[in-house]
A and B are shown apart, each in its own frame.
Chain A
């Protein structure tokens, strides 16, 4: 059920990428899509009523493995967030340079390449 909400987020981001007229809005929509996918990856590791995956000094391994949520997707999502940050930085830098070159943020006017 909650996975469909993640899918909704991805689709909203996709709509934003397709329908935006400004480069910065496209960037923000891509960011929303990234958030949706990260949420999906995170929720894959969820367990109903699970504990945070932190081992207390007094816990045994079997108790921990049976009670905690899966820590692997959390590590994966952390990496994916940092990757998304790198791409975001590059995109924003490109938008700034595009503005300096073309004088506009409007995607429909940045169309020198055709054919």
Chain B
């Protein structure tokens, strides 16, 4: 099993890249072929990542040994993220078959989509710092282009804001890489970890760490670095919003923060408290700003910021329970936030508007959307027995266990605020009476309905993951990986 897994590692990056280029070459005019290729690719990626559970390995690119060559590493945390990316990408690619019909440049969408998946897989599997940066940029460039895909007014403006802030954060990250290379003379993550474990963190290394935190906090939209997210995620087409908010922000934001903070730099009390306060700020600010929104997708975007705060708070606790809670919340949030964004997209597809004041009574007209959005809203609000309840409970318990009662109270309060704005969406969009203006409403097409049902089933099945047989192989392994600070992937 582990032999197979090791040879599978570069395929995660090479397969979507090759398919993206193939789509450009062959399926320019034939959109059904492009759709078929991308769905097959995402399905294969999903199956490969599920088969990689429990596998660990280092893949030396080109056969060069470690200090000289480029490594790709697979461990528990990487497997968790790979599964998240592939499964949600599969659902989104099913959804976009119908949703992207109204855009004429359809096959370019699938090329860019697969390019973004390539970048994310590359970041997840990267074993050295510069490859991390290169694949980060690949994913980021694909996402800039995808946000601007429809070329409407808001999409272009949001994409411009996103690209400027994204480039700023990339400059910060590259400066950090330069500093780390100058101090340690190596770019390999394991060697940097050993070097730091031996000689401690002097001032230049602390500066590099600070630059990394700032740069990746931009990418993961932590307050106060969140300014691009409320514009970029709503304006993008719905499948793009689902991928961005559900996966990209986590794969290139939270994952890299966890990797660098825990495995490479080694956390002390100051770094952990920094993470905790960033998490608290994002939780509270995101939740409060979400309550007053009228646009469905903008509300969900602020809610993403709030839930990301939960994850970073869990990471910042540093205890095993906290990290398990944070990782579980990461997977949960990927599942239900992308489901919610797909629902918002279906609402927009059917009615042509995203304004909550103009919507109402959609439960009768769009039954699949209504049912799945009920599942998604109850999950994110933390109502038992859905998955959101368990992950938030674990994070709150971890706060209490570590003695941070103030953070625990804040987490509970923000959960109540989450419940409030989700109920608002449900009431105003789905349960209220049908307004007169919404008479010509199209039902959702079959592929979109299928994708939403798949993700809703994913949400429900995730709530059973905490049973002791199921949780060991992937969730606990990932948490153990995070906690083994210092040398990883050995």
Contact = CB atoms under 8 A, between A and B. Distances in A.
A35 B92 CA distance: 37
Contact of A115 (B167, B171, B181, B298): B298
B141 A94 contact: no
A113 B160 contact: no
A79 interface: yes
Contacts of B152: 101
B159 A37 contact: no
Interface residues of B, number: 35
A44 B144 contact: no
Query: Interface centre among B141, B175, B177, B178, by most A CB within 10 Å?
Result: B178
Given A17-B168, A37-B171, A44-B182, A94 B148 contact: yes
Contact of A94 (B156, B174, B181): B156
B136 to A, nearest CB: 10
SS of B interface (majority): helix
Given A41-B174, A113-B158, A102 B163 contact: no
Interface residues of A, number: 35
Contacts of B154: 112-113
A41 B177 contact: yes
- Closest 4 interchain pairs by CB? A44-B182, A41-B178, A83-B137, A113-B231
A41 B181 CA distance: 8
A23 interface: yes
13 contacts: A10-B171, A30-B164, A44-B178, A44-B181, A72-B187, A73-B181, A80-B174, A83-B137, A86-B137, A87-B144, A87-B163, A94-B156, A112-B154
Contacts of B298: 115
Given A90-B144, A98-B157, A83 B163 contact: no
Interface string A77-115: 001100100110011001101100110000000111101
A78 B66 CA distance: 22
Contacts of B153: 101-102, 112
